[in-house]
């Protein structure tokens, strides 16, 4: 209780010194290893609301088990939602390649720089990109014009220079 009173005093001192006031309606408090009743009481004293884990912060799920494929469903849906039928029908091969290299590869960038992505998720996102590049819509079958390994190979080795999600994830984690 003394910590909560100290926190309220610090916030009041900050307000008097800087003329800036914290909006308690936007603020939330969460307890880790503390009973729910104590967190609720602290929130009432401070004047804010409570929240619990898992939660989303800056578009990233915090407190979830990121080794589970189900946790990555939101990221996979973001990647697939960028693709629509009109883009598939109207873009040339070069347009598809540009979209894959610069848009689809950057959507999961922040998540991939924080977490080691499960292989099932990497495979799923890779198949979304591969199917889009080959012009496959939905569950239809179509022969690929170029092997996906050739698309993923660097330009130095005669490929198209698209980086694989696996290599991309590992490189971001090594940063």
pLDDT tens-place string over residues 141-164? 777 778 888 888 888 888 888 888
| pLDDT at residue number 118 | 94
Beta bridge partners of 120: none
Which has more confidence, 55 or 125?
A: 125
| Interval 91-99 mean pLDDT | 84
At 17, is the pLDDT very low, low, confident or very high (cuts 50, 70, 90)? very high
pTM: predicted TM-score of the whole model, two decimal places = 0.70
Mean pLDDT value of segment 50-59 = 82
What is the predicted pLDDT for the residue at 40?
92
Pairing of strands 55-57, 60-62: antiparallel
Q: How is the chain split into domains, by residue range?
A: 2-52, 58-174
Q: Is the pLDDT confidence value at 133 over 80?
A: yes
The mean pLDDT value for 37-63 works out to 85
Number of other residues whose CB lies within 10 A of the CB of residue 127: 12
């Amino acid at each position: 209780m003394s910590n909560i009173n100290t926190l309220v005093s610090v916030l009041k001192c900050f307000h008097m010194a800087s003329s800036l006031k914290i909006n308690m309606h936007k603020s939330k408090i969460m307890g880790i290893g503390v009973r729910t009743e104590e967190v609720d009481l602290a929130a009432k004293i401070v004047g804010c609301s409570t929240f619990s884990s898992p939660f989303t912060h800056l578009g990233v799920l915090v407190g979830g088990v990121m080794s589970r494929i189900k946790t990555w469903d939101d990221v996979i849906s973001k990647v697939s939602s960028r693709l629509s039928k009109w883009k598939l029908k109207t873009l040339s091969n070069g347009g598809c390649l540009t979209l894959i290299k610069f848009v689809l590869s950057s959507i999961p960038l922040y998540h991939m720089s924080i977490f080691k992505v499960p292989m099932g998720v990497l495979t799923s996102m890779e198949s979304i990109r591969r199917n889009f590049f080959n012009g496959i819509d939905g569950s239809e079958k179509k022969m690929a014009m170029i092997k996906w390994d050739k698309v993923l190979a660097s330009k130095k080795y005669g490929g198209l220079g698209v980086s694989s999600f696996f290599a991309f994830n590992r490189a971001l984690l090594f940063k």
